[in-house]
Amino acid sequence: MKHTLMPFLICPECRQTLMLSTFKEQNHKSCEVIEGLLTCQSCTAAYPIIEGIPLFNSNSFCLHAEFVRKYADKIQQSAQLIDKATIFSKIHGQTQERFGHEWMNYPGPMAEDRKIFLEETQIPQSDWAGKTVLDAGCGMGRYTRIAHDLGAHVIAMDLSHALIRLQEAAFNSDRMHLIQGNLLSIPLKEESLDTAYSIGVIHHTPSAKEAARQLAKTVKPGGHLSFWVYGTAGSFKHFQTNPLRKDRTGLKKIILLAWFIVGIRQFISDFLRVVTIRISHKCLYLLCYPLALLGKIPFIKYLTFSVHPLWRVRLQENFDWLSPPYQSHHTKEEIIQWIQEEGFDLLKILPHGFVPKPGVLGKKMSIRPSDIKK
């Protein structure tokens, strides 16, 4: 963790200032705090820094017993801390473990990443340099690297330990910061960022709307918020006005059939997930191997959850669909309302293919609509 991250950090519990105690530092491109403690000046909550990454999840101490033993004289253990860790693990533990497994096994950066990143954030290539941005739910940092290479100062945040795959890149740059934390209580100051983006993540939290609200808070007036979520068939009235990618406009001719198939597909997926979220993630991972192989067979492949040309990606994408305990589906109308309630003007809606993928790019107004009403 670089010292330049400190002005952005706050306690996720009470939103007050944190104090840094450094136990071990190393010089890389910048001076990095490898081990340390962030302590809240108000509520006395404490967050460890381990392997150069500040960890804001309430179960961090429980998952790092060796760190606790090593610095026992500096860490105040209490029954309250253990209670908080238990509650956190109950709500987020499975998501943390399963996505950690997925992103640790996901193939490294791929040639297609930049194109996908620019399309899905809907922010032009020229608008990243010099901006301070949050990659919310970065996984192993597939898109963090792109934002960084386009010249942004990136804060990459994820619930899982897969962030560790970005450690070397972060050590080699003074523009990349890593934090482990939860999108429902983001440990960043309000209105401190130029841009916050989240690519296909917030529907895996217990409340996608609340995660969007938390993301929106981090953005400065005049700054941008971009995210997309899993879509749903919704009402036909809304479905038929979904924006389609240029290469998919032919779907307009069979839009009623498309609406029906999307609805059936979601029904089957919900049915399967009743089982798949309850079996161990290692077992499920094995079951995804035959699905990944079927993903290469013409026509049959559409019965699986990935048709990516690389089998290792198909394996992860099938697991990605079937394993997360939380998976909500939304319409574009819902997410447009979410950002407007947080004082954002809608700039763009993400066009998509057969399966709806509602995504928005918004710009924060100087005054929120709720403030005008007052």
CA 8 to chain centre: 18
Region from 37-45, 200-208, 274-282, 306-314 binding Zn ion, contact rule CB under 5 A: 37-45
Q: By CB under 5 A, what part of segment 46-75 binds Zn ion?
A: none
Region from 35-43, 130-138, 175-183, 245-253 binding Zn ion, contact rule CB under 5 A: 35-43
Q: Residue 13 interacts with Zn ion (CB under 5 A)?
A: yes
Q: Residue 43 interacts with Zn ion (CB under 5 A)?
A: yes
Q: Residue 14 interacts with Zn ion (CB under 5 A)?
A: yes
Q: At its nearest, how many Å lie between Zn ion and the CB of residue 18?
A: 8
Q: Residue 279 interacts with Zn ion (CB under 5 A)?
A: no
Judged by CB under 5 A, the residue of 10, 45, 284, 288 near Zn ion is 45
Region from 9-17, 69-77, 208-216, 281-289 binding Zn ion, contact rule CB under 5 A: 9-17
Cβ closer to Zn ion: 43 or 257?
A: 43
Judged by CB under 5 A, the residue of 40, 49, 157, 225 near Zn ion is 40
CA–CA dist 190, 59 (Å, integer) = 24
CA 88 to chain centre: 17
Cβ closer to Zn ion: 26 or 42?
A: 42
3-state secondary structure the chain: CEHHHHHHECCCCCCCCEEEEEEEEEECCCEEEEEEEEEECCCCCEEEEECCEEECCCCHHHHCHHHHHHCCCCCCCCHHHHHHHHHHHHHHHHHHHHHHHHHHHCCCCCCCHHHHHHHHHCCCHHHCCCCEEEEECCCCCCCHHHHHHCCCEEEEEECCHHHHHHHHHHHCCCCEEEEECCCCCCCECCCCEEEEEEECCHHHCCCHHHHHHHHHHCEEEEEEEEEECCECCCCHHHHCCCCECHHHHHHHHHHHHHHHHHHHHHHHHHHHHHHHCCCCHHHHHHHHHHHHHHCCCCCHHHHCCCCCCCHHHHHHHHHHHHCCCCCCCECHHHHHHHHHHCCEEEEEECCECCCCCCEEEEEECCCCHHHHHC
Judged by CB under 5 A, the residue of 1, 10, 11, 50 near Zn ion is 11
Q: At its nearest, how many Å lie between Zn ion and the CB of residue 187?
A: 10
Q: Residue 150 interacts with Zn ion (CB under 5 A)?
A: no
Q: At its nearest, how many Å lie between Zn ion and the CB of residue 64?
A: 20
Residue (of 28, 32, 39, 23) closest to 2 by Cα position: 32
Cβ closer to Zn ion: 77 or 337?
A: 77
Q: At its nearest, how many Å lie between Zn ion and the CB of residue 17?
A: 9
Q: At its nearest, how many Å lie between Zn ion and the CB of residue 39?
A: 9
Q: At its nearest, how many Å lie between Zn ion and the CB of residue 44?
A: 7
Rg of the chain in Å (alpha carbons): 21
How many residues form the binding site for Zn ion (CB under 5 A)?
A: 7
Region from 3-11, 54-62, 205-213, 250-258 binding Zn ion, contact rule CB under 5 A: 3-11
CA–CA dist 88, 288 (Å, integer) = 28
Region from 41-49, 173-181, 189-197, 275-283 binding Zn ion, contact rule CB under 5 A: 41-49
Q: At its nearest, how many Å lie between Zn ion and the CB of residue 185?
A: 11
Cβ closer to Zn ion: 13 or 149?
A: 13
Cβ closer to Zn ion: 85 or 140?
A: 85
Residue (of 13, 91, 50, 104) closest to 61 by Cα position: 50
Cβ closer to Zn ion: 122 or 180?
A: 180
CA–CA dist 125, 128 (Å, integer) = 6
Q: Residue 38 interacts with Zn ion (CB under 5 A)?
A: no
Region from 45-53, 216-224, 312-320, 363-371 binding Zn ion, contact rule CB under 5 A: 45-53
Cβ closer to Zn ion: 47 or 99?
A: 47
Cβ closer to Zn ion: 58 or 318?
A: 58
Judged by the rule CB under 5 A, the positions of this chain that interact with Zn ion are 11, 13-14, 40, 42-43, 45
